[in-house]
Structure 1
Amino acid sequence: MAGPTAAAERGARQQESSGPPRRRRFRPPRLRVIVILAVALVLLSSGTVWLLYGSNWLRVERVSVSGTRVLTPAQVREAAEVPVGAPLVSVDTDGIEARLRRELRRIDSVDVVRSWPRGIDLEVTERTPVLVMREGREYVEVDDEGIRYATVSRTPEGVPVLDLTPSRSGTAAASLRRFGADRLVLEAVRVAGRIPAAVARATRTVKVRSYDDISLSLSGGRTVAWGSSENGPAKARALTALMKAAPDARHFDVSVPSAPASSGS
């Protein structure tokens, strides 16, 4: 039998070449490549560490203060004790915040922020007095949480004086034993926070006799029997309406807001 022709051989070769492609074998990276990558990683890490801790480019040179009203920026910087010249990345921002709130009780909150490349920003929020308490010839400011935080020589404008003189007998004495002076101060703060704005400007004294016997002394000799701090919004609305209905009255009673009363002229 005759062997395959040339045409048949070419057809067989073409059929073999048109078969599925062969997969390339995975070749692991050569040792030289691994060494180069490892060296590059070490150099990069070392350079980063040196830049953050060893260089003079990222060190504290400036401490800025914002948000102060009564305090001065110099007072805040002194209490903060920011380590000027230290690497910026190593500054203990939580420690600075805790130190400021401990040393300057007037500070309600503070954000300590790294300002790259060379600064620390101290963003301060001061407490706002709601009442003041008399101590001898001076006054202690009290914020809306009942915290006594600063002593001043005179009352801030528009801030009423807290007269905390609970009776030592009867129901008032029982109230004092039950709640304590700090709780009564907090109740007075809550009442002060609910006084309508127009009335607040005329309020001179918030007087506390017991938990449910709180009253206001206004300019012109007017008084308001408020009662306890409960139902504050309803009492504020009742007082506003009562003062409009009886503008010449001298005494107002909103201790029961559903049945307010006024008297005197």
Structure 2
Amino acid sequence: MAGPTTAEQRGEREQESSGPPLARRLRPTRLRLRLRTIIILAIALTLLGAGTVWLLYGSRWLRVERVSISGTRVLTPEQVRAAAEVPVGAPLISVDTDAIESRLRAKLPRIDTVDAVRSWPHGIGLKVVERTPVLIVQKGGNFVEVDDDGVRFATVSRAPKAVPELELKLSSTGSTGASLRRFGEDRLVREAVRVAGSLPSGVARIARTVKVRSYDDISLELNDGRTVAWGSSERGALKARTLTALMKAAPDARHFDVSVPTAPASSGS
């Protein structure tokens, strides 16, 4: 079989020698285009980042101009605004909302929770939830308010309406003394708070005093002079239902005992 002719062999050598030099010429061009694209993108991103930083921190468009307050009942918006110390005029992005919340809780113990939020483009919003007293403790001529966590959060000159007064009838001797040594005064206060929180709404409105003698000897005195032996704070929901039923069954009774809710009693007329 005859091999390729001399002309064919010369054509194949020319074709082989022409390929690689062309690829070598195109490769630097592609690299330059790719490098140019990377440089342009890097410059664009740098400018965009610098512009964003300037807009957030350097411009006058996104600065704190107002502080809005919501949720106050006893406190005034002016009191909250003064305690918050929001840096009006500062860049909105730089305001430390956690620090604002901490200042408010420290300076105004009446505040239970607070949420400080940015309100773009110019505001800070403070959403406040105040503590609600469930008991009061007389102290001199004033009254200390106690919330449902047992926190004594404020002293007021006038007792709030429909909030019973706490009386601690504690002694260092006998069963009362043993209860005081075992649980401590703070724990007994919390037990009284639990009782106050368990009262039926109709009874809570007319409760005048919650008296604590020991852990399992807590009683109520109502505005009309009727009394309720509640016992401990345990099984509060059942005791509340039992007391409601007992008061309906014996409307003229002066004393009710739900300390053992499965065996309630009433007496007096």
TM-score by length of 2: 0.88
Which 4+ runs in 1 deviate beyond 4 A?
Answer: 25-29
Q: How does 1:51-66 map to 2 (within 5 A)?
A: 51-66=55-70
| Residue 143 of structure 2 is aligned to residue 139 of structure 1 | yes
Which of 141, 144, 148 is matched with 2:152 structurally? 148
What is the CA distance between 1:105 and its match in structure 2? 0.2
Q: Deviations over 1:145-181 (max 9, x none)?
A: 0000000111111000001121222010010011111
**What residue is the counterpart of 1:158 in the other structure?**
162
| Residue 256 of structure 2 is aligned to residue 249 of structure 1 | no
Aligned length: 241
Mapped to 1, the partners of 2:261 and 2:56 lie a distance apart of 64
| Structure 1 unmatched runs, 5+ | 1-24
What is the CA distance between 1:114 and its match in structure 2? 0.2
Q: Deviations over 1:114-153 (max 9, x none)?
A: 0000100000000000000010100000000000000011
Q: How does 1:209-228 map to 2 (within 5 A)?
A: 209-228=213-232
Q: Deviations over 1:27-79 (max 9, x none)?
A: 55432222111111110000000000000000101011010000000000110
**What residue is the counterpart of 1:10 in the other structure?**
none
Equivalent position amino acid for 2:221 in 1: S
**What residue is the counterpart of 1:48 in the other structure?**
52
What is the CA distance between 1:112 and its match in structure 2? 0.2
SS in 2 for 1:89: helix
Q: How does 1:1-265 map to 2 (within 5 A)?
A: 27=30, 29-265=33-269
| Structure 2 unmatched runs, 5+ | 1-25
Mapped to 2, the partners of 1:162 and 1:234 lie a distance apart of 22
**What residue is the counterpart of 2:5 in the other structure?**
none
SS in 1 for 2:150: coil
Mapped to 2, the partners of 1:242 and 1:130 lie a distance apart of 24
Mapped to 2, the partners of 1:173 and 1:114 lie a distance apart of 53
SS in 2 for 1:84: coil
Mapped to 2, the partners of 1:99 and 1:202 lie a distance apart of 37
Mapped to 1, the partners of 2:173 and 2:255 lie a distance apart of 26
Percent of matched pairs sharing the same residue: 73
Mapped to 2, the partners of 1:110 and 1:38 lie a distance apart of 43
Equivalent position amino acid for 1:102 in 2: A
Mapped to 2, the partners of 1:45 and 1:250 lie a distance apart of 77
Equivalent position amino acid for 1:53 in 2: Y
TM-score by length of 1: 0.89
Mapped to 2, the partners of 1:196 and 1:60 lie a distance apart of 47
Deviates more, 1:63-72 or 1:165-174: 165-174
What value does the CA root-mean-square deviation take over the aligned residues? 1.2
Mapped to 1, the partners of 2:268 and 2:182 lie a distance apart of 35
SS in 2 for 1:110: strand
Structure having the larger proportion of residues in helix: 2
What is the CA distance between 1:201 and its match in structure 2? 1.1
